[in-house]
């Protein structure tokens, strides 16, 4: 069988540049204390923000539904894979987000690919934040529409890009609600104003906002009080704060029916197992009835930020459970991550191409299941590591802070 030229060289180059990524073998449930690669670690890199992935009620709902519906859905939603549990979950998601309807997708990547391609094509324009999730970028490129990007959260840049494609038949403005690698929140109210002024439709990916933002956990739209009219296309995922799996898009009757009829990643994909839908229903109930989880998360965020800032590491501006320490150099980020792991603490080093060159970071994520004592363990380890850094590396960190955080 023929081989592709250059694969080995490309892989070796990644290793040399400290950009090679390896999978870890998880041997336990998603929770702060985990078994990873056969070792006990305290994890600070899961997106299980509310601690629901291993919640007894969520697991119970899954097991009971699996007993009734079996393991697999057997077919796509449009054949005979759309169960009563899927239907109930869509109704609940529409209610939670204040939208007319919702439609389930098997993954967030598929939701974004299917939605954008169904809404825009040749003769249209899609305008995106430069730091949007890869699934949004790929969806925009695949749609066939004129593809424009504006600097991160730069409203003037958004205006310029909208002006540059004023002749487009349809214009779709797309942004993350919470940016997954920085943890900052898009100024959605102002973006909605600009989109409206240019007769453009607004879509947000609220994967990291749903469950943790807003008074009831309805996410970024609730935080900014954006109605369906002002925010017509709302995408969210169920595998992060909800602790389950899958994704959805919520909006008007016409939007949802359009996606059911035209989104290829919906039409030609096996539906989620009904038991997963049951687990999501249980987690949504907990999100709405146990507001203390969001309250505790905010307390832990404040504790962590205060501690890291006193140590001296460059901490990015974030009010969410995603708290990145900006290191800059990929090798240094990887080294600090490995030192933390040697102390029994799991914090992932995020490097290019996931983030831009020169912005490698330690992406700390918090869960309502973490304790204050566990936060202190992490802070103590970071303090020790920072004190052992050479003056040259501390100066590098200071330069990174001045360039990317303070500026």
* Known catalytic residue at 171: no
Q: Is 354 annotated as a binding residue?
A: yes
Phi and psi of 103, rounded to 5°?
A: -135, 135
| Active-site residue, selected from the candidate residues 43, 180, 265, 360 | 180
Q: Is 21 annotated as a binding residue?
A: yes
Q: Is 87 annotated as a binding residue?
A: no
Cβ-Cβ contacts under 8 Å for 314 (sequence gap 6 or more): 325, 326, 327, 397, 398, 400, 401, 404, 405
The CA distance from 130 to 149, in Å, is: 5
The CA distance from 112 to 200, in Å, is: 18
Cβ-Cβ contacts under 8 Å for 18 (sequence gap 6 or more): 330, 331, 334, 351
The CA distance from 174 to 390, in Å, is: 42
Q: Is 82 annotated as a binding residue?
A: no
| Active-site residue, selected from the candidate residues 148, 198, 240, 401 | 240
Q: How many helices (H) and strands (E) does the chain have?
A: 15, 13
* Known catalytic residue at 367: no
Q: Is 108 annotated as a binding residue?
A: yes
Q: Is 180 annotated as a binding residue?
A: yes
* Known catalytic residue at 180: yes
The CA distance from 397 to 309, in Å, is: 13
Task: Spell out where 60-124 has E strands.
Answer: 101-105
The CA distance from 349 to 19, in Å, is: 10
CB 197 within 8 A of CB 235: no
Please state the residue numbers annotated as binding site for pyridoxal 5'-phosphate. Answer: 108-109, 180, 208, 237
What positions carry a catalytic annotation?
A: 180, 208, 240
Binding residues are 21, 108-109, 133, 180, 208, 237, 354
Residues marked as binding for substrate? 21, 133, 354
């Amino acid at each position: 069988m023929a081989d592709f030229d250059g694969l080995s060289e490309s892989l070796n180059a990644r290793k040399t540049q400290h950009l090679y990524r390896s999978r870890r073998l998880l041997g336990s449930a998603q929770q702060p204390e985990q078994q990873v690669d056969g070792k006990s670690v305290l994890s600070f890199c899961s997106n299980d923000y509310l601690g629901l992935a291993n919640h007894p009620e969520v697991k119970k709902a899954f097991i009971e539904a699996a007993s009734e519906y079996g393991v697999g859905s057997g077919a796509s939603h449009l054949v005979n894979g759309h169960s009563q549990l899927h239907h109930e979950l869509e109704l609940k998601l529409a209610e939670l987000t204040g939208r007319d309807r919702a439609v389930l997708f098997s993954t967030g990547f598929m939701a974004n690919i299917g939605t954008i391609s169904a809404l825009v094509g040749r003769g249209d324009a899609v305008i995106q934040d430069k730091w949007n999730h890869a699934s949004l970028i790929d969806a925009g490129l695949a749609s066939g529409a004129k593809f424009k990007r504006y600097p991160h959260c730069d409203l003037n840049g958004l205006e310029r890009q909208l002006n540059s494609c004023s002749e487009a038949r349809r214009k779709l403005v797309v942004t993350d609600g919470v940016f997954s690698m920085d943890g900052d929140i898009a100024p959605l109210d102002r973006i909605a104003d600009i989109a409206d002024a240019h007769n453009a439709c607004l879509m947000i990916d609220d994967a990291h906002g749903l469950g943790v933002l807003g008074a009831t956990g309805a996410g970024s739209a609730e935080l900014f009080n954006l109605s369906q009219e002002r925010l017509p296309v709302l995408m969210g995922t169920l595998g992060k704060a909800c602790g389950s799996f899958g994704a959805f898009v919520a909006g008007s009757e016409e939007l949802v029916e359009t996606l059911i009829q035209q989104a290829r990643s919906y039409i030609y994909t096996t539906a989620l197992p009904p038991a997963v839908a049951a687990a999501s229903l249980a987690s949504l109930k907990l999100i709405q009835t146990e507001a203390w989880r969001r309250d505790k998360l905010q307390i832990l965020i404040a504790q962590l930020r205060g501690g890291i800032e006193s140590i001296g590491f460059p901490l990015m501006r974030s009010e969410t459970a995603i708290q990145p320490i900006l290191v800059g150099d990929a090798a240094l980020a990887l080294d600090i991550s490995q030192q933390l792991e040697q102390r029994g603490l799991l914090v992932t080093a995020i490097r290019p191409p996931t983030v831009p060159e020169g912005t490698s970071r330690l992406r700390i994520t918090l869960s309502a299941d973490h304790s204050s004592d566990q936060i202190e363990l992490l802070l103590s380890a970071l303090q020790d590591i920072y004190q052992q850094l050479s003056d040259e590396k501390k100066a590098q960190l200071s330069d990174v802070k001045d360039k990317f955080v303070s500026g």
